[in-house]
Structure 1
Amino acid sequence: MTIHPTHLAQRTRSSVNWNDARARVIKSYRDWYRAAPEIVNLYVLEVDTPQVRTKIRQEFERNRNVQQLPVVDMLISKSNMEFQETMNYWKQITQIMKYFRVEEDPRAHVPKDFMTGFLEDVTRSFFDTSVCRGSLNIMSVGCRIRLLSFFLRRDSVYFRIAERQIPM
């Protein structure tokens, strides 16, 4: 397959009015929709074409209520750049699969606020024993890890560190 980098390149321009912006958005959506089977084949994705098309639709629907013409123009330009990078195989599979994170991992979610996300990440890393077990195969004694407990009271965070023995 021969790649022509400038084949899909488009000039960044401003829309004259809302009708022009609407036509450009529809053209961009159709380009993505028609390219879905090729994207699945090109990147050898573990998802099928209807799932890719559904995700494309969701991404366009997410920005449906944008009311400022310059913002719409910027989103169209970003869409064109993403399309060019995707179709020219300039992305890695992980960059494509980040859009399907929720479909891959049903536990994946966006935390409500910073502190909730921070506490979830820290507790997950401290309570994950697979790392510890993998590194201690040399010593068949057991695994000593530190557990971090959090107590939230009003605006303060209290930490308690405890050690525990994990049998192998």
Structure 2
Amino acid sequence: MAQQAVKTLRQVKPLLSLDQGQARSRVLNLYKAWYRQLPYIVHKYDIPKSIGDCKNKLREEFLKHKDLTDVRVIDMLVIKGQMELKETVNIWKQKGHIMTFFKDTEEPKPTDFLSKFLTNTN
């Protein structure tokens, strides 16, 4: 008797968007909302960054997730982005919370012997 593999597809309930087009428009609307609020955020929080630096960081944060294709994951990130925007605009955050987005990226520790030796780390 040959066993047949039964493939079942589970239908999941969408969070906000029904297809990729709707998800894309939600992402673009969120990006535009952040982009419009950046000058006010820089002024209200008095952060030591220019508006141009903040716009570059905003673009970088959105481009981190450019390869996502699952609509539910995209919707969840949009919901989180909307919450972050609301908290930021209503000044429910402090200056330190805003500055954490501008943390310097850390270089990974060397793994091979020669690199460890040259950087003087154990």
* TM superposition score normalised by structure 1: 0.55
Q: Work out the CA distance in 2 between the residues paired with 1:112 and 1:16.
A: 43
| Larger RCO: 1 or 2 (CA < 8 Å, sep 6+) | 2
Picking from 59, 75, 83, the partner of 1:81 is: 83
What is the aligned-residue RMSD (CA, Å)? 1.8
1:66–1:112: structure 2 CA closer, same or farther, 3 Å change rule?
Answer: farther
1:21 alignment partner in structure 2: 23
| Runs (5+) with no aligned partner, structure 2 | 1-14, 112-120
Give the aligned residue type for 2:88: T
* 4+ residue runs over 4 A deviation: none
1:10-45, Cα deviation, whole Å (9 max, x unpaired): xxx420111110110000000001111001001001
What secondary structure sits across from 1:60 in the alignment? helix
Higher helix share: 2
1:35 alignment partner in structure 2: 37
2:49 alignment partner in structure 1: 47
Residues paired across the two proteins, number? 99
| Runs (5+) with no aligned partner, structure 1 | 1-12, 103-107, 116-149, 152-168
Q: Work out the CA distance in 1 between the residues paired with 2:23 and 2:57.
A: 22
Q: Work out the CA distance in 2 between the residues paired with 1:19 and 1:74.
A: 16
Point out the structure with max Rg over C-alpha.
Answer: 1
2:4 alignment partner in structure 1: none
Q: Work out the CA distance in 1 between the residues paired with 2:29 and 2:109.
A: 35
Higher strand share: 1
2:106 alignment partner in structure 1: 109
